[in-house]
Amino acid sequence: MTKKFNSPNYSFIIETKTGKGEHLNYWRVDQVVAGQNHDQALRRVENQLAQHLNGLSKRTGLVLFLTFAGTVETIDTIIKGSGYEIS
């Protein structure tokens, strides 16, 4: 099966905790990382994600942080092997 040009190729797993540090959930963001320079495109996407998580943390009082990042296939393997429950 051929992949579409805009199919996500990179994933991020984010953990959410309360302000007191109690685990709430894990969630996943799949993203297209594309560009002439893959490393530069990846840094741009990671920076955007960090800004969004920071803003969300300030608005909600929750603690949000990046737990894992990698190709979609790598993250699929981590989720399958670890038993993470993704919301």
How far is 19 from 46, CA to CA, in rounded Å? 23
Distance set, CA 31 to CA 2, 18, 24, 56, 62 (Å): 18, 26, 23, 18, 23
Query: How is the chain split among helix, strand and coil, in percent rounded to 5?
Result: 40, 30, 30
| pTM: predicted TM-score of the whole model, two decimal places | 0.83
16 CA to centre of own chain? 12
For every one of its 87 residues, what pLDDT tens digit does the chain have, with 9 covering 90 and above? 555 667 899 999 999 999 999 999 999 999 999 888 989 999 999 999 999 999 999 999 999 999 999 999 999 999 999 888 887
